[in-house]
Chain A
Amino acid sequence: MDKLNQSLDLFTEGLRSDPEIRLDIRKELQSHLEEKIAEETAQGHSNQESLELALKTFGSPVEVADGLAAANRKRMNFRARIRLLAGALLIPTVIICALVSLNMASGLTSLNILFGNKLQFLNTSRIFTADFFRGYTAEQKLILYGDDTRKNRIEQQKAILDKFPENKVYAANYIIVFLDQSDGKDMNLIVDEIDRVGRFDQENAFYNYIAAGIMLKSACDEVQVPGENSKAKPQYRFELKDRALLEKAMRQYMIGVNKKYCRSYSMDFLKEKLQIMGDPESFIGHIDQIVVAACFLLPNLSQYRNISKYMPEYAGILIKEGKNQEALQYLNTWKQFIRHINSDSDYLITVLVMDAIARIDAEKLPPLYDKLGMTEVARTVAEEAGSIHKPVQEWKNARKQITGNTFSDHGSILSSVLIPALGREFTGKELAPSRYAEYVFFQKITLAAINLVLLAGMVCAAVAVLFWRVRSNSRLLLLAPQPLAVLKILGMGSVMPCIACLALLQIELLSGYSYGIVANFPKFIAQMTLLMMLITTAVLTLTGRYVTDRCRELGVATPPPSGRIYKISFMTGLGLLVIAAFIPLSMSPPHSPQSPTAAILIIGGLILTVLVILRIGQWTAVLFCGKEYSVYYGAAARMLLLTFALAVLVLTCIFRPILDWREAGYIREDKIMFGSTESFTRIEGDVVRYLKSGIDQALTKVSK
């Protein structure tokens, strides 16, 4: 039959550029000739004679080859263009997916501010994400991040002031960063800088207070006095180190309390930054917002505390020295100081520090008034300072009353971290939008992980194509997939599993989404692992089946199918994952370490892990001893390259927008967590406003 093969090669000589078409037509001609030979043989001719007769009636090889090449030229050119297009699609796919995956990490970029811009890799991801997607202008970037080409954070933030030299908000921000980063070292330099910058804002007591606080820290000290026993509350003793500096600091303080207002402008700057960032439409956008809010430094608070600690001590020294009038002047400033600080208390922590100062005043000032013989005033001061402390005291008491597991059971991770300390209780229903937004966020991470697995699959397939091409030393079969076959692979391999999973997750009884992700962790992991397994294995299996069928049509050798044991084990593992993912809540108590879900998940996961390892081992072994199937494996690897790339496109272009849309919907619906332009959460802003107004009322009363 060598002659038959030689003749078939000659007939299809003009189709060399498209191995699939050549094989297909070769097979068709072979089938024709074999049937003709069989008929001739049946009529009594020898095999050789039958072959000769069949070839003779078939016609001239040159004429047939030319005819076939001409008839198929249009088709071959079209397929060559499709191949080029498919190859060109892979690169943009990889870029799109990389960008989408990086966009997920945009919340981390702001985190770099916390580390003083030391984690440059986070900035790199920011370049590809936030800046790319949001399109910040150079000025907006400067306000958000400072000039991160400068060497340290002080200089980076100073760049904003350099650009807008007389802006009070940026001036205060620069001083705050300076204060924080220099950590009190080189006091004179800081005080000089505060003096220089503070000149732009003459009526602001903020600069005087922080200058006074820094000087007080150097002038005085608190020394811990050993208690009677280890359980006793530690006591501190005042120690004067530099009298002249103490007096200088107290003069600054006195200048400050006589000014009109005290503004650190922290909230103004925060609001400006958040306005640039826009309303968060995603969970990660909210994290970004929280990080930006958390990055606001409050080193001025410790300076305020220094003043509240040392001013009474200074007044005490003056009383001892007989300078009662001067001492009284200082003692009488306490309300104005608290009023100033309260007006600048925009965060919960500043309200609490202000409250602590009121408590120190209530404890330290009355004895000093007593020493001055002003017993009645001493009593009034104790009462007034106590009344200022009352709103916070009441709020703290109410907070202690909160019991139960609402947050740990039904809250999202974020809400259970940020909300319980605020002293308000919420129902599971009220916590639902933020809980769902968090679930969708983790679904997006799963989608990104699936994309990464598919991308890794594409890389492996590309390596396999190269390997088989070198090993078989031939042009490997490149299958031009039928559009319907590709649609079937994508539909059944990626669209259907996603739709089915999303539909089932809508049913809370099955999804477990009435609980927070921490309480519902085993089920959630099972759901996402199942989705990942379904998509990757379905695309892989359907593509493999298509290539196998096509290779059999073309007469290309294909390896034997997987054994029954492998198939049964795989289906068992997958079945266990399905059970773990959708076992009704009543059968799967959350929080329980003996949760059947966790047990089923572990068993199913172990089975699938073992099978995946075995399969990878099998493919690796094939690389070294599967040469007889090299055309099949080469064709399969090339086809997988295409179907994996298309699956990534489908998942990214269809399901990512759906998840984004759902996430934005939950964020709009939420009334507790999202949408605050002044605090970590919307509810924290409410609490701060409530406490501040209570303190304001108390201050108004004591003024009367």
Chain B
Amino acid sequence: MAVNSDMMRGMAEPIILKLLNYKKMYGYEIIKVVNEKTNNAFQWKEGTLYPCLHRLEADGLIDSEWEIADNGKPRKYYTLTKKGQAKMAAKVEEWSHFAQAVNNLLFA
């Protein structure tokens, strides 16, 4: 089942930070991993990922670097900064409280 895009708003940043916490990734790879892990539940418009990435970069939460991929083409890889790690932990914690609260209301 596809998730409503309104619900998605505000979730993109914690998801990106969490994914980059595992390893450095490029934009298209992030989309693919999200789709794979959520079984395409998030109907992201792929183009909206980039403003999000650039905002995180401007805030110093992630860094980017061009690298030549195995296929010989350049790709821009993103990595999590220390500041990003702290932010990610806080966001995950925040989400956990939020989800708990919503669950309590909906399924109590």
Contact = CB atoms under 8 A, between A and B. Distances in A.
Contacts of B28: 31-32, 35-36
A67 interface: yes
Interface of B: 26-28, 45-48, 50-52, 54-55, 58, 66, 73-76
Nearest to B54: A71
A63 B48 contact: yes
Interface residues of A, number: 27
A31 B27 CA distance: 9
Tell me if B's interface is mostly helix, strand, loop or mixed.
helix
A74 B66 CA distance: 21
B83 to A, nearest CB: 16
Contacts of A72: 54, 58
Interface stretch (A54-62, A367-375, A451-459, A575-583): A54-62
Nearest to A73: B58
A59 B74 contact: no
A57 B47 CA distance: 8
Contacts of B55: 71
18 contacts: A28-B27, A28-B76, A29-B47, A31-B27, A31-B76, A36-B46, A57-B46, A59-B46, A63-B48, A64-B45, A67-B51, A67-B52, A68-B50, A71-B50, A71-B52, A71-B54, A552-B74, A553-B66
Contacts of B75: 31
Nearest to A72: B54
A75 interface: yes
A496 interface: no
A466 B55 CA distance: 34
B28 to A, nearest CB: 5
A58 B47 contact: yes
Most chain A CB inside 10 Å of its own CB: which residue of B26, B47, B66, B76 = B47
Most chain A CB inside 10 Å of its own CB: which residue of B54, B66, B76 = B54
A11 interface: yes
Contacts of A35: 28
A599 interface: no
The 4 A-B pairs at the shortest CB distance, nearest first, are namely A59-B45, A67-B51, A64-B47, A59-B47
A67 B53 CA distance: 11
B50 A28 contact: yes
Given A32-B46, A64-B45, 13 more contacts: A24-B76, A31-B76, A32-B28, A36-B46, A57-B45, A63-B45, A64-B50, A67-B48, A71-B52, A71-B54, A74-B58, A553-B66, A555-B74
Contacts of A656: none
Interface string A593-624: 00000000000000000000000000000000
Contacts of A64: 45, 47-48, 50-51
A30 to B, nearest CB: 10
Most chain B CB inside 10 Å of its own CB: which residue of A57, A67, A68, A555 = A67
A552 B47 CA distance: 24
A70 B54 CA distance: 10
A27 interface: yes
Given A27-B74, A35-B28, A36-B28, A11 B47 contact: yes
A79 B15 CA distance: 29
Contacts of B58: 71-72, 74-75
A225 B21 CA distance: 109
A114 interface: no
Nearest to A75: B58
Nearest to B73: A31
Contacts of A32: 26-28, 46, 50
A11 to B, nearest CB: 7
Interface string A62-94: 011001101110110000000000000000000
A138 to B, nearest CB: 56
A58 B74 contact: no
Nearest to B75: A31
A58 B54 contact: no
Interface in A16-71: 24-25, 27-29, 31-32, 34-36, 57-60, 63-64, 67-68, 70-71
